[in-house]
Amino acid sequence: MTNTTTENTALASWRDGAAKRAVLEFVRRASVEVPAEERVAVFDNDGTLWCEKPMPIQLDFILRRLTAMASADPALRVRQPWQAAYDRDYAWLSAVLDEHYAGDDRNVRVLAAGILAAYDGITVEDFEAQSEQFLREVKHPTLGREYLRCTYAPMIDLLDHLAANGFTNYIASGGGRDFMRPISQEVYGIPRERVIGSTVALEYRSDERGGTIIHRAEADYLDDGPEKPVRIWSRTGRRPLLAAGNSNGDIAMLNFAQHPGKPSLRLLVKHDDAEREFDYIAGSEQALKEAERQGWTVVSVRDDWSTVF
Residue 170 and residue 268 share a domain = yes
10 within some domain: no
pLDDT tops 60 at residue 2: no
pLDDT, tens digit (0-9, with 9 covering 90-100), for 45-92: 999 999 999 989 999 999 999 999 999 999 999 999 999 999 999 888
Q: Is 149 helix (H, G, I), strand (E, B) or coil?
A: helix
Confidence band for 94, pLDDT divided at 50, 70 and 90: confident
Which 3 state secondary structure label does DSSP give 105? coil
Tens of pLDDT along 203-257?
A: 999 999 899 999 999 989 999 999 999 999 999 999 999 999 999 999 999 999 9
Q: What pLDDT does residue 6 have?
A: 67
CATH of the domain at 269: 3.40.50.1000
Phi-psi region of 214 (alpha: psi -120 to 50; beta: other; left: phi over 0): beta
Task: Report the Cα–Cα distance between both ends of the chain, in Å, rounded.
Answer: 16
The answer on 65 and 40 residing in a single domain is no
Specify whether 189 is located in the same domain as 296.
yes
Same domain assignment for residues 43 and 149 = yes
What single-letter DSSP state applies at residue 262?
S
Same-domain pairing of 197 and 253: yes
Asked whether residue 247 is assigned to any structural domain, the reply reads: yes
> Could you tell me if residue 138 is inside a domain?
no
Q: Do residues 110 and 163 both lie within one domain?
A: no
- Residue 23, pLDDT > 90, answer yes
DSSP 189: S
Same domain for 24 and 163? yes
124 in a structural domain: no
Both 84 and 194 in one domain: the answer is no
Helix, strand, coil abundance in the chain, percent, nearest 5: 50, 20, 35
Claim to verify: residue 22 and residue 96 sit in the same structural domain:
no
State residue 95's pLDDT score.
86
Q: Would you tell me the crossing angle of helices 57-72 and 106-118 to the nearest 10 degrees? A: 70
* Domain range enclosing 182: 18-51+145-201+211-304
d(CA 172, CA 193): 12
Domain identity same for 100 and 219:
no
Both 218 and 280 in a single domain? yes
In a domain, 174, yes or no: yes
Predicted structure pTM score: 0.92
Question: So what's the pLDDT on residue 308?
Answer: 98
CA distance 244 to 297: 9
Q: State residue 17's pLDDT score.
A: 98
Work out the pLDDT band at 194, boundaries 50, 70, 90: very high
Domain annotation covers residue 123: no
Q: What is the rounded distance in angstroms from the CA atom of residue 79 to the CA atom of residue 89?
A: 13
pLDDT, residue 146, reads 96
Q: Please list the residues that pair with 214 across neighbouring strands.
A: 123, 203
Domain endpoint, select from 118, 134, 160: 118
Question: What's the domain count of the chain?
Answer: 2
Q: Is 71 domain-assigned?
A: yes
130: in domain: no
247 plus 265 within the same structural domain: yes
